[in-house]
Amino acid sequence: MTLLATTSIAAISLYAMLSTVYKSAQVFHARRTTISTTPAKDIETNPVPSVDVIVPCFNEDPIVLSECLASLAEQDYAGKLRIYVVDDGSKNRDAVVAQRAVYADDERFNFTILPKNVGKRKAQIAAITQSSGDLILNVDSDTTIAPDVVSKLAHKMRDPAVGAAMGQMKASNQADTWLTRLIDMEYWLACNEERAAQARFGAVMCCCGPCAMYRRSAMLSLLDQYETQLYRGKPSDFGEDRHLTILMLSAGFRTEYVPSAIAATVVPDTMGVYLRQQLRWARSTFRDTLLALPVLPGLDRYLTLDAIGQNVGLLLLALSVLTGIGQFALTATLPWWTILVIGSMTLVRCSVAAYRARELRFLGFALHTLVNIFLLIPLKAYALCTLSNSDWLSRGSVAIAPTVGQQGATKMPGRATSEIAYSGE
């Protein structure tokens, strides 16, 4: 047996053991997130908090922006609700101007047009400085939320120990392509396994940007750190959702997940857009993982296992695949043990997901294993080597305004919204 074969077998065996322990614990804890951690007496006696919804937009597709704002206007919330739409120097700002006219008579809406592009964080802060609500809900401009989302997230935030809460993410364009279907399943697993298990201990490590609520008093105390995040002396402009979540945890607040608060966001429908998004997310994840390390000792031991499972597990899988490919290239023999272990683990994971979601489509998530091994692992390796790069990789694109055909039907060019809109992790 060659050194490459031995290394591949050892790496995949260690990965299998670590992943089995980690994923088993994850599924076990994820099933318990429906238990409320908010004391009933606090829910009954506290007044209904006021909520400010902040929607930063940049070159957004006019139709997608319209759908987003309509979902906010239809919120069924007993408290005071204000909606702040901030255009961050878009080249198609006529879309925002048109929406201002639609909601001119709705006193809940406030529109701000910045003269030039300043970035998502500064656009959010521009709205925060104007607003005064007890809670702040960040919503991406390519996201629509169910009518009860504000109520459900605000209900979770009535516990004063909670600094942030997120809802469940879905793909609004799920049916478009095989990739959007795959991403929708990926979102379900990320929310209902990873985030749900973390929420069992009040420590969701990333409250996803498309729909996340924060306590104003906590956010104001962290605003300077949030706005001025640097990496190796350079501004770190993306990954704002993960960074803000880590800051909340560092300040001693709980971060929660509310699975019944449903938000649907436009996801990439082409592989090029998807990989650019994943590269940006990978860089922000690596950066903020370092920031999160000092926080872990103060959290439940499961969160340490979670960090090890995600990071060490990735390294072991990458090592086993790399040495397996080397074995095949040099000896023309297939790394059968590596293939068998990866195939078996994929089958088990997809079967468990299909059972928990009560949907057979999750068996098709096995395709993600191939995407992960041959595309995402090399991309994450590249991200690790280029952490200083803060390029959004998409700022040059502009959504084109719709045209109206002879029958009055709206016609749009292909949707590239997920690439050009401000999308969180």
Mean pLDDT by 10 residues, the chain (425 residues): 90 97 96 56 69 96 95 97 96 87 95 92 92 96 98 96 98 97 98 96 95 96 86 73 94 97 97 95 89 93 96 96 94 94 97 96 97 96 87 53 38 42 60
Give the pair of three-digit tokens for residue 197. 């298990």
Helices (H) and strands (E) in the chain, counts: 16, 12
Which residue type is seen at 118?
V
- Give CA–CA dist 341/197, Å, rounded: 25
The predicted structure's pLDDT at residue 275: 97
The CA dihedral of 162, 167, 168, 171, to the nearest 10 degrees, is -140
Sorted by sequence, the CB contacts under 8 Å of residue 272 that are 6+ apart come out as: none
pLDDT attached to residue 239:
76
pLDDT reported for residue 404: 35
Nearest to 325 by CA among 7, 71, 40, 1: 7
- Calculate the CA 53 to chain-centre distance: 18
Residue 406: the pLDDT is 35
User: Tell me, what's the pLDDT at 389?
Assistant: 79
Cα(207)–Cα(199) distance, integer angstroms:
10
Cα distance between residue 277 and residue 232, in whole Å: 22
SS3 223: helix
Q: What is the pLDDT of residue 291?
A: 86
* pLDDT at 47 (0 to 100): 84
Q: Which residue is listed with tokens 């590249």?
A: 382
Helix, strand, coil fractions of the chain, as percent rounded to 5? 55, 15, 30
Tracing tokens 């925002």 back to the chain, one arrives at: 96
* pTM listed for this prediction: 0.89
Amino acid identity for residue 253 in this structure: F
Closest CA to 136 of 59, 207, 62, 238: 207
Which of 256, 250, 254 lies closest to 225, judged by CA?
A: 250
Distance, in Å, from the CA atom of 254 to the CA atom of 251, rounded to the nearest integer, reads 9
Give the other-Cβ count within 10 Å of 355's Cβ.
Answer: 11
Kind and range of the H or E run holding 51: strand 51-57
Token code pair at residue 96? 């925002």
Asked if 321 contacts 335 with a C-beta cutoff of 8 angstroms, the reply is: no
Q: Where are the domains of the chain?
A: 49-269
Torsion sign across C-alpha atoms 187, 188, 194, 196: positive
pLDDT of 227 reads 85
Fold type of domain 49-269 = Spore Coat Polysaccharide Biosynthesis Protein SpsA; Chain A (3.90.550)
Per-residue pLDDT at 424:
58
Place of tokens 């998409």: 394
Q: What's the confidence (pLDDT) of residue 125?
A: 93
Q: Phi/psi zone of residue 62: left (φ > 0), alpha (ψ -120 to 50 degrees), beta?
A: alpha
